[in-house]
Amino acid sequence: MATAAVSTERKNYLNAEYGIRSWLFTTDHKRIAILYLFSITLFFFIGGFAALLIRLELLTPGGDLLTADAYNKAFTTHGQIMVFFFLIPSIPAVLGNFLIPMMVGAKDLAFPRINLISWYIYIAAGILYIHCLVTGGVDTGWTFYPTFSTQFSNTKVIEAGLAIFISGFSSILTGLNFVVTIHRMRAPGLTWSRLPLFVWSHYATSIIMLLGTPVIAITLVLVVLERALNLGIFDPTRGGDPVLFQHLFWFYSHPAVYIMILPSMAVISEIVPCFSRKRVFGYDFVAMSSIAIAAIGFVVWAHHMFVAGISLYSAMVFSFLSFLVAVPSAVKVFNWTATMYKGSVSFNTPMMYAFGFIGLFTIGGLTGLFLATLGTDVHLHDTYFVIAHFHYVMVGGAIMGYLGGIHFWWPKISGRMYPEAWGRLAALIVFIGFNLTFFPQFILGYLGMPRRYWQYPPEYQVLNVLSTAGATILAVGYLLPLVYLLWSLRYGAPAEDNPWKATGLEWTTSSPPPTFNFDEIPVVTEEAYAYEKMPLPEEVTLER
């Protein structure tokens, strides 16, 4: 059995320096990734708590746990935290930051200090948002629609808007760093067609971050100005147009969902070949599909506005384009599946999450087509069908990809192996809990239960109770990794450099890697997924 030196003896990025200053003033992309990891986990649980309130309230048809206003705040908080403070940073800021320099064979990102600044901006935004929460919260729905947000809401819209405005800059700077790094810091021999698909997907994500985020930034500025100065830009009684807000808002917020899913797809593209011991089928197609998703994703935004008052003509245009955007996603799903075909598939925890992703993302994506169809959207818009759809892609898709990635690269990040049995158990619990939570919501939506409602007719109760039951199971599934991953930091088996025998430059470094990643910059001569040349990993035992 190959013996690796116990990681804690060798100098690596974790033990290079100690003390809080060495973390808060670090420019090491790996440490910054860990800073983000802790921050977004915190926000995940705050947003999850808001979800808990929602699901508890919806156990019964009456409004008995929360007041109507409090309920509005609960779903607004849940949405804004989960979107802006968890999902959008999650994989890029944690896994992207950690891995991209190593994957391209560089010592760091192009702009390490800007990387650190992006974390501080995120923290500042987060603190402002939490302050907003504890001093009253916001109840406009995560979408801030005027004229409720600009005139009639009595909650802290300005503060929440400013917090999200600030968080956008964190996103922009992260995207900037990635794009420049990928263009300018690739190791010798690492041509674009030899890049891991993880990098391709993050490149596409970064383009969206760069070109989309500024638009929501200025939109939030306009909302804040309108509310503070009573301007009337979005007020129809004063000549303004609330639909204009929606155009500007969704111009970013639709591509934002691709910011949330592309990195997850990036992770799946790494996990699937590794645990199938086979190169990715159709590498070029998968790479190009990331770019296509980013590009087409920018021209579909008004499918959120079909019943908002846009013209029928433009609705048809956007409906057609929305159908188009499903194609590159489907290409990825087919290619991952083809990768597994006749591969040597093993069901380690990351692969379980990958399977979950592929199935759940497919369902989520297909139900998106129901919503992209004008006729059915009239019936389904603003119902629980929409909620189920986006949770299937964002939770069943994005979060499962995130968890799969955390597990896959955990040995590299921490130098420890997580306990495999617990990992698989948690993945299973997440999958079961997730489906129990959200599948009933498809039915509820189809039957007509509106979203954002704090009370509902009694005939919807059974499905709501099922959903809440699922949510508690899902919560267990999320808490388990928190516990055993932390446990593994102390008691987990020390990880060798490449426990999965995966391809990729990051696996050529020690686990954990040294501060500057590579002693010598590698020279790349092979394509990305040359699994036929890799040995099989040793059986990962289930005892621990």
Partner 1 sequence: MSEHSEHIVPARLYVLIWAILIVCTVLTAWVATVDLGKFNTVVALGIATFKASVVVLIFMHVKYTSEKMTKAILMASVFWLLLLLVLSLTDYSSRPQGLLIPSSSDLVRLV
Partner 2 sequence: MSDSPAMTDTVDVVHHDRPELRHHFAAVDQQRNAASLGMWWFLGTEIMFFGGMFCAYLIYRRWYFPEFAAASRTLDLKVGTFNTVVLICSSLTVAMSVRAAQLGKRKQQVWLLFWTLVFGLSFLGIKTYEWGNKYKEHHIPTFDYNVISGEGNIVKGNEALLGITDEIKNNPVKLRQREAEIQQHTKLFYSLYFALTGMHAIHMIVGVGIFLVISWMAHKGRFTPEYHTPLEIAGLYWHFVDIVWIYLFPLLYLIDRRPGA
What does the binding site for partner 2 look like in residue numbers (CB under 8 A)?
101, 106-112, 114, 172, 176-177, 179-180, 183-185, 210-215, 217-219, 221-222, 225-226, 229-233, 238-241, 244, 247-248, 251, 514-516, 519-521
Burial class (CB in 10 A: 0-12, 13-18, 19+), 237: exposed
Find, among 263, 269, 299, the residue nearest to 284 by Cα. Answer: 269
Nearer CB in complex with partner 1: 78/381? 381
The entry of partner 1, partner 2, none that residue 515 binds, CB within 5 to 8 Å by partner kind: partner 2
Does residue 298 belong to the site contacting partner 1 (CB under 8 A)?
A: yes
Least separation in angstroms between CB 294 and partner 1: 11
For 511: left if phi > 0, alpha if psi spans -120 to 50, otherwise beta; the answer is beta
Q: Which does 299 bind (CB under 5 to 8 A by kind): partner 2, partner 1, none?
A: partner 1
Residue 20: contacted member of partner 1, partner 2, none (CB under 5 to 8 Å, by partner type):
none
Smallest gap from Cβ 311 to partner 1, in A, equals: 4
Question: 494 has which bridge partners?
Answer: 416
* Complex with partner 1: residue 185 or 495, whichever CB lies closer: 185
Q: Are 181 and 99 in contact (CB under 8 A)?
A: no
CB 68 within 8 A of CB 132: no
Question: How far is C-alpha 446 from the geometric centre of its chain's CA atoms?
Answer: 27
| Residue number, 109 or 471, with CB nearest to partner 2 | 109
At 408, phi and psi to the nearest 5?
A: -60, -45
Q: Is 310 in the site for partner 1 (CB under 8 A)?
A: yes
Residue type, 263: P
Distance CA 4, CA 19 (A): 27
DSSP H or E segment with residue 30: helix 29-57
Binding mask 166-205 for partner 1 (x = CB under 8 A): -----------------x----------------------
Which one, 106 or 380, has the nearer CB to partner 2?
Answer: 106
Name the residue with tokens 């929501």: 216
- Kindly tell me which of 114 and 210 has the beta carbon lying closer to partner 1: 210
Q: How far is the CB of 310 from partner 1 (least distance, A)?
A: 4
Closest approach of partner 2 to the CB of residue 166, in Å: 14
**The entry of partner 1, partner 2, none that residue 351 binds, CB within 5 to 8 Å by partner kind:** none
Q: Which does 379 bind (CB under 5 to 8 A by kind): partner 1, partner 2, none?
A: none
Task: Say if CB 36 and CB 94 are below 8 A apart.
Answer: yes
Quick check: 374 binds partner 1 (CB under 8 A)?
Answer: no
Say how many C-beta atoms besides its own lie within 10 A of residue 211's C-beta. 16
Work out what residue 317 binds among partner 2, partner 1, none; the CB cut-off runs from 5 to 8 Å by kind. partner 1
Partner from partner 1, partner 2, none contacting 514, C-beta within 5 to 8 A by type: partner 2
Cα 76 from Cα 539, distance rounded (Å):
46
Contact between 247 and partner 1 per CB under 8 A: yes
The residues, any chain, with a CB within 8 Å of residue 486's CB and separated by 6 or more, are none
Of the residues 239, 490, 533, 543, which one makes contact with partner 1 according to CB under 8 A: 239
Residue 493 touching partner 1 (CB under 8 A):
no
Residue whose C-alpha is closest to residue 88's, from 199, 173, 159, 156:
173
Out of 311, 458, 532, 533, the residue judged to bind partner 1 by CB under 8 A? 311
By the 8 A CB rule, do 265 and 196 touch? no
Q: At a CB cut-off of 8 Å and minimum separation 6, what does 538 contact?
A: 1
The candidate with the shortest Cα–Cα distance to 474, out of 412, 418, 411, 430, is 430
Q: For the chain, give the longest Cα–Cα distance.
A: 76
Is 291 near partner 1 (CB under 8 A)?
no
Which of the choices partner 2, partner 1, none does residue 131 contact, using the CB cut-off of 5 to 8 A by kind?
none
Report, in Å, the least distance between residue 482 CB and partner 2.
33
Residues 6+ apart with CB under 8 A from 351: 271, 272, 275, 345, 404
| Residues in touch with partner 1 (CB under 8 A) | 183, 211, 215, 237-239, 243-244, 247-248, 251, 298-299, 301-302, 310-314, 317-318
